[in-house]
Structure 1
């Protein structure tokens, strides 16, 4: 299999269910937008609001990152099982699996 076939297969795989791709894109986009809001508080000299908003949005960022990591794990599992479609979002399962993946990644980085 050459590069062009791999590229074509990856585009076909992701285009089979556009709504799931859109949801995953929003999961990436939301934290990128929310990180800007605490800095609006700094422009108005509201440093306490900056700290509060930063902590709140950091928690949201971590939760969304765990969900994305868990979803990636589901994608890998389904691909190993020769599935040709994106898996469904199972929010709590993705969150728990994302936590497990993150723990394994941290341990791997420590012992690398």
Structure 2
């Protein structure tokens, strides 16, 4: 399918079964309620220790519902891959297992760039420069407090500040590039999970990268950018008009369905 067909099909797809969309919305609200209760009760735990347990239970329930929701989104990707025009229904246990697998995929595709960023930060000596500055500031502050001198950073501390700025700039740039790259790879990993049902296939980073090349790097970038732009514009309109903000309860899940369907249709080129 070409890019315009993908976007058009994906945007209309969620409207084909509003009942399923409403179920998704209600489950999302339920997960949010349990998350809020967990946070509130956990805070009360500093007063009543038993609240720690109940807060933890509420968080777990919220997480379990979240896995079902995530698994259902993967099933929407699968519908796009199979070019199925029907909105899939909830398959509770299957959605739960798939959602759990997607949770693992998300962690793995986050840990890899996070580890690389930590290594870059170590190599550029962020920690060392920061400690030089911190020690100097503490020393100078103590001297000023004792009335022994004015607050003047040493040449070594000034150089450390300059080095820290360079280190942070390099590390942040690497982090941004890796975030973008692994976001694309994670999208392909989710499509692989939807297509094969295999966690191992989804975690195959090399093959996920090859999938982007098979589909076409340009096509993948254009489709994903269009998805981001469309969602951003609609969300901006909703947030700028107060009486429309309530519609985000329905519109945001609708846009999620749209994005997942578009990913599935994109991946159908090589499935």
TM-score, length-scaled by structure 2 = 0.36
Which digits, 9 at most, give the CA deviation of each residue in 1:6-48, with x for residues without a partner? Answer: 46852x31121111101100111012223343537967x9623
Counterpart for residue 73 of structure 1: 74
How many residues align? The count is 108
2:37 corresponding residue in structure 1? 37
SS in 2 for 1:47: coil
Q: Which residue of 1 aligns with 2:19?
A: 19
Match of 1:89 in 2: 90
Q: Secondary structure at the match of 1:65?
A: helix
- The corresponding residue for 2:104 is 103
User: Per-residue deviation at 1:66?
Assistant: 0.7
Kindly report structure 1 stretches of 4+ aligned residues shifted beyond 3 Å: 5-9, 35-38, 40-43
Q: Which runs of 5+ in 2 are unaligned?
A: 114-271
How far did 1:51 drift?
A: 1.7
Residue aligned with 1:61, SS: helix
Partner in structure 2 of residue 28 of structure 1: 28
TM superposition shift of 1:49: 4.6
With structure 1 as the length reference, what TM-score do the two structures score?
0.79
Written as runs of structure 1 = structure 2, the 5 A alignment for 1:51-66 is 51-66=52-67
Secondary structure of 1:35's counterpart equals helix
RMSD over aligned CA atoms reads 2.6
SS in 2 for 1:76: helix
